[in-house]
Structure 1
Amino acid sequence: MSYRELATRPVLAWSAVMVTGRLPVAMAPLALVFLVRERPGGYTLGAVLAAAYVLGEILAAPVLGMRLNAERARPQLVAGLAVGAVGFTGLGLAPGAHPVVLAALALLAGTGPAAVPGALRALLTSLVPERAVTQAMSTESMLTFALWAAAPALTTGLALGVDPAVPLLLQGVLMAVSVAGLWLLPAGWSAGAQEKGASMRRALLRAWPVYVLGAAGLTLLALAELILPALLEQRGIGIGWAGPLLAGFSIGSAVGAFVYGLRGSWPGPLAVQSLVLVLAVAAGVALVAVLPWTAAIAVALVAAGLLQAPASLTRNLALRQVLPPGALAAGYSVMYAAVGAGYAVSGTLAGGLLKVVSPSTAILWGVVLTVLLTAVGGAGERRLTRGAGLQEVQAEVAAAVGSGG
């Protein structure tokens, strides 16, 4: 299966919906900071608004994901994106509102569309044959990293060059466009027997090792993004290099996603691939902490980015192995919440560590946390894989006994 075979009308329509729906999410934290930075205590308020937005995503993603009706998901996706559009537009129209009002709008903007990424991923994999799932998810990853690379420059340019409210208004318009685009896609996807209630919760809880590995991966991304400016100052390197260096990380990730999708499968079980890739990314981030030269830091970041996207892909593909089809959209939503929580925890840890240790030491402590999370997730995933294998054997034996064979 080649990437050219994904250039079908449904997949292209899906890509348009994904871009217009996800670009506002990529722009949100920085846009919120720019919106209020000129007010007294603006940067602190901006951080609080960004935290409220992320909190809405983290809390709502698993709750809304579990309530998705796979075969008739469109009304729920429309409602979620519409709520997000209202939240962003409200922020853009009332930048001088009371901080509590702004926090409520930010929370609304994060909460409404929180389950949309998981649902869109499930919808994408239903639009392609099974043999093309890896390429489809690689394409999604490439688009995501491209959006995350473009969002900071777009947000900064509009906020400083036009008006701080313009990025939020654009985000509201983009989400409204994504709502209209949903009518170009199927109303839902076939998920077989729909998981409900206790069985859904059991299925999602059983996959906890995959979520832990997801959180570990985003811990590294947070370290790279949040501590890099302080590290550059420690090294005597111009802080202006932070943007290009992080762009290199994102571009490397997009290339890594493309390369991973060139093959339908790679050697070794997905669990082993994920472990190796996350640890390799951790090694790259650790090198960033100890290398003294700008060029060397750039090489380490690009190399880490090349492996970051495949590490994320292997975790999402692993979910397809351990969850029943009817629970996949909810599983992707829980993964979305887990990686967001990993990012938030790492950001909090980084902020606390920077008060007592140097930036390079803070990065290394963060890498240690990542390795610990990876070890926990890897051990749990090994047990999960063994349990799944045992269940398959038991099912085969039961079927043989039932047929008299």
Structure 2
Amino acid sequence: MASGYGDIFRARYAARLLIGTLVGRLPSATAPIAIVLLVRAEGGSYSLAGGLAAVYGLTHAVGQPLLGRLVDLRGQPGVQVPAALLSALGASVLAFAGTDSLAVAYAAVAVAGLFTPPLEGGLRALWPDVLPHDGQVHRAYAMDAVAQEVMFTVGPLLVTLCVSVWSPAVALLVINGLGVLGALSVVTTKPSRAWRSAPREAHWLGALRSGGLLTLLGAFLFIGAALGSIAVAGASYAEGRGGDVVYGGLMAALGLGALIGGLGYGAREWAGAPEPRLRALVALLALCYVPLALVPGVVGMTLLSALAGVFLAPALACAFVVVDRHAPRGTVTEAFSWLVTTFSVGAAGGTALAGPVVEWGGTRSAFTVPAVAGLAALTVLVVARAALVVPLRTGVVAGSSENDRNGTVEPGFSTGHQA
């Protein structure tokens, strides 16, 4: 596996594209944390913090597939750069204006979310042009899921460091400045400038005409809700137990757990169709959310947060392959952007729900939300499993070989072990 990852990094532009995308996604990865800390620093309620985070998530959800479709139609640089600048502008307005004017705060958050560049979907669309073999492309999906957990580990720590040294407002400015630099690093590469989507069938639903993709999105809507609720519940837990340092530690532990799980998942060779494996991974993910409601001491809670993240990266890596297998031709960036969107909508709902739950029932009640959301995600995959049995056929699936479409072998992994 180390050799396989090495082959990917030796490919020209691969490391720059991956690192640039991760840095460019820092704003969206840390926005809920930064917003919560900014609102609480100015004396705002958890309901206000959850409301602003929810608006960011909802507008982010609207913007990703729209911008993703524009990328499929017009290419990457002309969409990604203006979007990154506008998103940073919205975050800067929030940082300078604060929450004194709720109208300005909500508008700034809405702009920041709506124009978040679809770098994640863009990277996965670029892998087939950067890597010569289908196996490497699908291994890159697994590596992508692992690598982004570094961002989810480092991102919260970077935010809390900026807050400790300066303020939540400065943290917003720093994170969004780095986001613009990351986007520029990606779109100035030759693969990004040259990339064009495959021909697509004109259809107003775009990627959403795939039943398998719709099923996957429904499940990951609830996984996003689980993660969003943990962000607010964790802030409530940290108050009186160490404040921002403990909160940042819990969020970093969640990302570290996902990083460890992703490395373990990538170390094994998988055979068979990924759809049944995805159901098993989501079941384990939901199970690991349950102990959070125990709310033990800081050390115990940090360990439980790490456990809650263990199956996140494996579920994501598997989901990326499922998206690739079910996305209609010519909609690859849009399809991956819809996956980001469902996360954003779910996270927005989770943060909006967890705020009132904290004020009504306390921290323990808030930590029951991710367990319920995880169970709902599993239910979607089980009830609608027929939609994921066989991917769409020739001429419809984006970037997959005939074997992939028939579900015989997951590309990039040996047939030596059963899923």
Q: TM-score category by the smaller chain?
A: 0.7 to 0.9
| Alpha-carbon separation, structure 1, partners of 2:238 and 2:178 | 35
Q: Which amino acid aligns with 1:309?
A: A
| Alpha-carbon separation, structure 1, partners of 2:330 and 2:103 | 39
- Matched residue pairs, number? 390
The answer for the alignment partner of 2:119 in structure 1 is 116
The alignment status of 1:61 with 2:64, answered yes or no, reads yes
Of 274, 281, 285 in structure 2, the residue corresponding to residue 281 of structure 1 is 285
Of 89, 104, 107 in structure 2, the residue corresponding to residue 104 of structure 1 is 107
Q: What is the DSSP-based 3-state SS (H/G/I as helix, E as strand, rest coil) of the residue aligned with 1:173?
A: helix
The worse-fitting range, judged by mean Cα deviation, of 95-104 and 170-179 is 95-104
The answer for the alignment partner of 1:209 in structure 2 is 215
Of 248, 252, 255 in structure 2, the residue corresponding to residue 247 of structure 1 is 252
The answer for the alignment partner of 1:193 in structure 2 is 199
How large is the Cα RMSD of the aligned pairs? 3.3
The answer for the alignment partner of 2:153 in structure 1 is 149
Q: Which amino acid aligns with 2:254?
A: F
When residues 271 and 350 of structure 1 are mapped into structure 2, their CA distance, relative to the original with a 3 A threshold, is same
Shift of 1:257: 1.8
The answer for the alignment partner of 2:13 in structure 1 is 10
The two structures have a TM-score, normalised by structure 1, of 0.83
The answer for the alignment partner of 1:344 in structure 2 is 348
Of 27, 30, 42 in structure 2, the residue corresponding to residue 24 of structure 1 is 27
The answer for the alignment partner of 1:78 in structure 2 is 81
The answer for the alignment partner of 2:411 in structure 1 is none
When residues 176 and 373 of structure 1 are mapped into structure 2, their CA distance, relative to the original with a 3 A threshold, is closer
| Alpha-carbon separation, structure 2, partners of 1:125 and 1:262 | 22
The worse-fitting range, judged by mean Cα deviation, of 380-389 and 67-76 is 380-389
The answer for the alignment partner of 1:89 in structure 2 is 92
Q: What is the DSSP-based 3-state SS (H/G/I as helix, E as strand, rest coil) of the residue aligned with 1:20?
A: helix
Q: Which amino acid aligns with 1:334?
A: W
**Deviation digits for residues 185-243 of structure 1 (CA, Å, limit 9, x no counterpart):** 4225354322433362553565211101212322333344433465689xx97776554
Identity %: 23
The worse-fitting range, judged by mean Cα deviation, of 6-15 and 70-79 is 70-79
The worse-fitting range, judged by mean Cα deviation, of 132-141 and 307-316 is 132-141
Matched-pair contact (CA < 8 Å) for 1:280–1:304: no
Of 195, 204, 227 in structure 1, the residue corresponding to residue 233 of structure 2 is 227
The worse-fitting range, judged by mean Cα deviation, of 175-184 and 322-331 is 175-184
Matched-pair contact (CA < 8 Å) for 1:281–1:305: yes
When residues 105 and 72 of structure 1 are mapped into structure 2, their CA distance, relative to the original with a 3 A threshold, is same
The answer for the alignment partner of 1:256 in structure 2 is 261
When residues 126 and 381 of structure 1 are mapped into structure 2, their CA distance, relative to the original with a 3 A threshold, is farther
The worse-fitting range, judged by mean Cα deviation, of 351-360 and 207-216 is 351-360
When residues 111 and 188 of structure 1 are mapped into structure 2, their CA distance, relative to the original with a 3 A threshold, is farther
When residues 210 and 164 of structure 1 are mapped into structure 2, their CA distance, relative to the original with a 3 A threshold, is closer
Of 304, 307, 314 in structure 1, the residue corresponding to residue 308 of structure 2 is 304
| Alpha-carbon separation, structure 2, partners of 1:103 and 1:303 | 34
Shift of 1:151: 1.9
Shift of 1:377: 2.8
Matched-pair contact (CA < 8 Å) for 2:207–2:335: no
Of 170, 181, 189 in structure 2, the residue corresponding to residue 184 of structure 1 is 189
**Deviation digits for residues 124-171 of structure 1 (CA, Å, limit 9, x no counterpart):** 343223111233122222332111222222222223322443222223
The answer for the alignment partner of 1:401 in structure 2 is none
| Alpha-carbon separation, structure 1, partners of 2:252 and 2:147 | 14
**Deviation digits for residues 306-352 of structure 1 (CA, Å, limit 9, x no counterpart):** 21110111112101111134112111111111111222223333334
Unpaired runs of 5+ in structure 2?
A: 397-401, 403-419
| Alpha-carbon separation, structure 1, partners of 2:342 and 2:210 | 12
Matched-pair contact (CA < 8 Å) for 2:258–2:310: yes
The answer for the alignment partner of 1:399 in structure 2 is none
The answer for the alignment partner of 2:415 in structure 1 is none
When residues 60 and 309 of structure 1 are mapped into structure 2, their CA distance, relative to the original with a 3 A threshold, is same
Q: Which amino acid aligns with 1:26?
A: A
When residues 352 and 190 of structure 1 are mapped into structure 2, their CA distance, relative to the original with a 3 A threshold, is same
Shift of 1:255: 2.0
Q: Which amino acid aligns with 2:226?
A: L
Matched-pair contact (CA < 8 Å) for 2:144–2:317: no
The worse-fitting range, judged by mean Cα deviation, of 377-386 and 72-81 is 377-386
| Alpha-carbon separation, structure 1, partners of 2:296 and 2:36 | 31
The worse-fitting range, judged by mean Cα deviation, of 294-303 and 85-94 is 294-303
Q: What is the DSSP-based 3-state SS (H/G/I as helix, E as strand, rest coil) of the residue aligned with 1:143?
A: helix
Unpaired runs of 5+ in structure 1?
A: 397-405
Matched-pair contact (CA < 8 Å) for 1:2–1:262: no
Shift of 1:93: 4.4
Matched-pair contact (CA < 8 Å) for 1:81–1:178: no
The two structures have a TM-score, normalised by structure 2, of 0.80
The answer for the alignment partner of 2:274 in structure 1 is 270
Output aligned runs, 1:356-395, within 5 Å: 356-357=360-361, 359-360=363-364, 362-364=366-368, 366-386=370-390, 388=392
Mark the structure with the bigger radius of gyration: 1
When residues 23 and 13 of structure 1 are mapped into structure 2, their CA distance, relative to the original with a 3 A threshold, is same
The alignment status of 1:316 with 2:328, answered yes or no, reads no
Q: What is the DSSP-based 3-state SS (H/G/I as helix, E as strand, rest coil) of the residue aligned with 2:198?
A: coil
| Alpha-carbon separation, structure 2, partners of 1:229 and 1:96 | 19
Shift of 1:277: 0.9
Q: What is the DSSP-based 3-state SS (H/G/I as helix, E as strand, rest coil) of the residue aligned with 2:379?
A: helix
| Alpha-carbon separation, structure 2, partners of 1:141 and 1:170 | 24
Give the number of the structure whose residues are more often helix, by fraction.
1
When residues 349 and 268 of structure 1 are mapped into structure 2, their CA distance, relative to the original with a 3 A threshold, is farther
